[in-house]
Amino acid sequence: MTSQRADARRNYARILAVAEQEVAAHGADASLERIARVAGVGSATVRRHFPGRRALLEAVFGERIAALVARAAELTDATDARAALLEWLGALTTYAASARGVADALVQDGLTGPEEVEDCSAKLATAVEPLVRRAAATGGLAADVTAADLLTLVTGIALATEHHPAEARRLLGLVVAGVSPAH
Amino acid sequence: MTSQRADARRNYARILAVAEQEVAAHGADASLERIARVAGVGSATVRRHFPGRRALLEAVFGERIAALVARAAELTDATDARAALLEWLGALTTYAASARGVADALVQDGLTGPEEVEDCSAKLATAVEPLVRRAAATGGLAADVTAADLLTLVTGIALATEHHPAEARRLLGLVVAGVSPAH
DNA sequence: TATGATACGGAGGACCCCGCCACTTAGCAA
DNA sequence: TTGCTAAGTGGCGGGGTCCTCCGTATCATA
């Protein structure tokens, strides 16, 4: 861990910084080769620090994901459980719609299987779980809705509105209220 | 049109047949090169008949899209407007979740702009439009929901459940009923 | 059958991801 | 301070894709 060499740490930081820009500019399938060039390192170095595109994306989004997890923890104590959940979902939607590639990363997360506990969607799911439980307990959430369902829906909205990010929040509103609630 | 040479027509059919298999197997980013190889034609020929991946995907999905458009026309006369709309959305969801790549194709459709009337999502939007209007008129649909919204939501569900297609129908149900309808 | 239009397909360029390998260098020990 | 060693590095080559150009084969017509 800390035994990592100083230059390695330096390169790690440089690559990550460039990767953030590139992913923001070109989405989840930004060119790793290009990231290496811009960062002034060899392509092998990028691959060493981040084995595979997934690893790089997770690192890029890690901070924001952590922020969302923290936000969820704060909201756990809110008086209105339903409002807390909705606010968190809104924050997630805004982020997923604005940060190109994050939604792709989330939908790909399911592939690795349950042993991979470190992936982004697992972190998020664990984080909302308490909010979901509280909202469900107070009747603020349909009974058969799981945390995973909500993440999937938000991810889907973000993916489908890739070219119209402004619509994302509105669509979330529709999903929450119901497109055609039973009368 | 009919002045197309016989060999060109033959190749078109061969390519389309192979493309259907390849897209079903590898999703929207199937290799055009590979399609050409399997079809026994040069890569330039594929490109000639289908300029760009979008064109190829549209051709591949064209028949099913047409079937959905026809289904919408049938359902326009149904007595229960809301049920008709929901049935059509269910059919669309099932198809989008089962046919790999179709959702990607739909979300990419928005890029070309309004002048391109031939694209899949425009066809579908035009087809559901009457169903949406009737459902809204009879109170079976939230007032501020457009046909495009519904397509976007279904597309999103399909994209987000790429690795768990079985969930798609259930999520559609949640969206219809509302995850957390106002009390 | 001869001929012009049409469609074909391979070569080649640009880009990408990935694995391998010889070289450099940071950080520790004497 | 001076070596030593392993971690870290970058470049090269292989395999793949997309795309364009252009000489050539093939079809339709007179």
Identity of the residue in A171, A177, A182 whose CB atom sits nearest the CB atom of B152: A171
SS3 B116: coil
pLDDT of A115 over the 70 cut: no
CB B172 within 8 A of CB A134: no
Question: Is the per-residue pLDDT at A1 higher than 50?
Answer: no
Q: What is the pTM of this model?
A: 0.90
Q: What is the pLDDT of residue A110?
A: 62
Give contacts of B158 with chain A, Cβ < 8 Å.
Answer: 156
A107 near B155, Cβ under 8 Å?
no
Of B82, B150, B171, the CB nearest to A152: B171
Angle among Cα B112, B32, B115 to the nearest 5 degrees reads 15
In this model, does residue A75 exceed pLDDT 90?
yes
Q: Do A85 and B180 touch (CB under 8 A)?
A: yes
Residues of chain B with pLDDT > 90, as a percent, come to: 83
Q: Which of A100, A121, A127, A97 lies closest to A109, judged by CA?
A: A121
pLDDT of A112 higher than 70: no
**pLDDT of residue A2 exceeding 60:** no
Instruction: Provide, in whole angstroms, the distance separating residue B75's CA from nucleotide C27's C1'.
Output: 75
Distance B4 CA to C2 C1' (A): 22
pLDDT score of A182:
75
- Determine the angle formed by the axes of helices A6-26 and A53-75, rounding to 10 degrees: 80
In whole angstroms, what is the distance from residue B164 CA to residue B148 CA? 24
Of the pLDDT bands very low, low, confident and very high (cuts 50, 70, 90), residue B2 is low
pLDDT for residue B112 is more than 70: no
pLDDT at B182 over 90: no
| pLDDT band, residue A39 (cuts 50/70/90) | very high
Q: Which residues in range 30-49 of chain B are in contact with strand C, contact meaning CB within 7 A of any of its atoms?
A: 40-45, 48-49
pLDDT at B183: 61
Q: What is the DSSP letter of B110?
A: G
Q: A176, B179 in Cβ contact below 8 A?
A: yes
- Report the pLDDT value the prediction gives residue B108, as an integer from 0 to 100: 80
Give the per-residue pLDDT at B83: 96
Calculate mean pLDDT across residues A40-69: 91
Which pLDDT does position A117 carry in this prediction?
46
Q: Provide the positions of strand C that have an atom within 7 A of a protein CB.
A: 6-12, 15-21, 25-27
For residue range B161-176, list pLDDT tens digits in order: 998 999 999 999 999 9
What is the total residue count of chain A? Answer: 183
Q: Which residue has the tokens 């609630």?
A: A181
* Minimal C-alpha gap between A10 and chain B (Å): 36
> What's the per-residue H, E or C state across B25-57?
HHHHHCCHHHHHHHHCCCHHHHHHHCCCHHHHH
| Cβ pair B175:A175 closer than 8 A | yes
pLDDT higher than 90, residue A89: yes
Could you tell me the CA-to-CA distances from A180 to A15, A35, B89, B172 in Å, in that order? 47, 46, 12, 11
Given a cut of 80, whether residue B115 has pLDDT beyond it is no
